[in-house]
Amino acid sequence: MTDFNYWSPTYIAFGKGKESRTGELVRRFGGGKALLHYGGGSAVRSGLIDRVKASLAEASVAFVELGGVKPNPRSSLVEEGVRLALAEKVDFLLAVGGGSVIDSSKAIAIGAANGGEWRRFYVGREVKVKPVIPAALPVGVVLTIAAAGSEGSTNSVINLEPENLKRAAGGDILRPRFAVMNPELTMSLPPFQTACGLADMFAHLCERYFTPTADVTLSDNLCEAVMRTVVEESAKAMANPRDYQARANIMWAGTLAHNDICGAGRVQDWASHGIEHELSALYDCAHGAGLAVVMPAWMTYVHKADDARFARFARNVFGVGRGESDEAAALAGIAAFRSWLKSLGLPLTFAELGAKEEDIPLLVKTLNLNGNTLGGFMPLAEADVEAIYRLCIRP
């Protein structure tokens, strides 16, 4: 285990009807005037936005609102939000939605606290050290989708326009002050959106689990336990979308997968996320769907760097490969992972995702490694990334 610093101050209000506490929590964590940020659609139709507004009014929290967040959140809406936040002198960002809404809110929070400047903090693999964010308004969350884990994370990813590049900012300053988590709010999600969320949170665990760091027994066991939970509860939630306990376990798993409790003290990978971001930037596909295509391809390409770790993954998460060699078990685990993704109805190939083989050179180019490598488990050069994209063409 390596040395580490860990700070996770997010207050979690978890359970049925907890959105009624939103106004109280905004006030508790310093908000007097909030920018209410959301996507639209179901959050409005379900009455959730109205319930949140009522809660803010009850707590005497003033607010302005900005809807319209799309999946793969766009920089143009961030710019609009920053202008609104500065003009209205808001002191708090309230995100009602999933990862895209939260990431957009975090970007606005940066801009509103830095005189409108936020974009330079969003960088890719071309830089080895991310710029430090000096200030950000506090962010609170009412979570409606169990997936990205942004409700407890240090990260934000934005699709930068007009370049159409997905780039990330990060720092403890971006961790939300609170997250309201009512599993009931996820029950109306379409099956595909639920499946994409499951793939995303599982990928967050894999990015931490596949590591070159030795002697990380505790976090290895934590990763495996949360991965098993995601797999086991996924079947229940897909069969019965209104299974509260399954939804609750999945929602909490999504937070634990990305608040970095499972990644402390170990080198992390993040190659698959970097590779996928170029897909969702170019094709505007769901992030979880892109990961379902990329992750098994990445595993197939890198497993020989440490077959023993992949064998452990196979045996302890999917229960396959016992009594077999590490190499055979590793391959069985990758196959089991692919089968699980297929059972969720997720794409496994470029064709199913809507990606094109002829775009691979462009995908590699826009990743912009700039002579750097990608990933902590097995460092990847541009040729390796291209090979992984080509493994996505067919399973």
Average pLDDT of every residue of the chain: 96
CATH 3.40.50.1970 domain position(s) in the chain: 11-185
Q: Per DSSP, what are the bridge partners of residue 64?
A: 35
pLDDT of residue 40: 78
124 has pLDDT over 90 = no
Of 229, 226, 227, 237, which is closest to residue 194 (Cα–Cα)?
Answer: 237
28-45 mean pLDDT: 92
Q: What is the pTM of this model?
A: 0.95
Of 5, 13, 9, 8, which is closest to residue 251 (Cα–Cα)?
Answer: 13
pLDDT of residue 126: 74
Exposed e or buried b per residue across 17-29, where buried means at least 16 C-beta atoms within 10 angstroms of its C-beta:
ebbbbbbbbbbeb
42 has pLDDT over 90 = no
The pLDDT tens digits for 289-333 are 999 999 999 999 999 999 999 999 999 999 999 999 999 999 999
Placement of tokens 């505007």 in the chain: 284
247-270 mean pLDDT: 97
359 has pLDDT over 90 = yes
128 has pLDDT over 90 = no
The architecture CATH gives domain 11-185: 3-Layer(aba) Sandwich (3.40)
Q: Which CATH number fits domain 191-391: 1.20.1090.10, 1.10.1060.10, 2.70.50.30, 3.40.50.2300?
A: 1.20.1090.10
CATH 1.20.1090.10 domain position(s) in the chain: 191-391
DSSP assignment string, 371-394: T--B-SSS-B-HHHHHHHHHHTS-
d(CA 156, CA 30): 22
pLDDT of residue 394: 81
The pLDDT tens digits for 134-143 are 999 999 999 9
d(CA 205, CA 45): 33
pLDDT of residue 273: 96
Q: What token pair was written down for 359?
A: 């775009």
15-32 mean pLDDT: 97
127 has pLDDT over 80 = no
E strands, the chain, in order? 11-14, 33-38, 62-66, 92-97, 139-143, 155-160, 165-170, 178-181
SS3 117: coil
pLDDT of residue 370: 87
50 has pLDDT over 80 = yes
User: 28: which residues sit within 8 A by CB, 6+ positions away?
Assistant: 178
129 has pLDDT over 90 = no
38-60 mean pLDDT: 93
Q: Could you tell me how far CA 331 lies from the centroid of its own chain?
A: 26
SS3 34: strand
The pLDDT tens digits for 197-255 are 999 999 999 999 999 999 999 999 999 999 999 999 999 999 999 999 999 999 999 99
68-96 mean pLDDT: 97
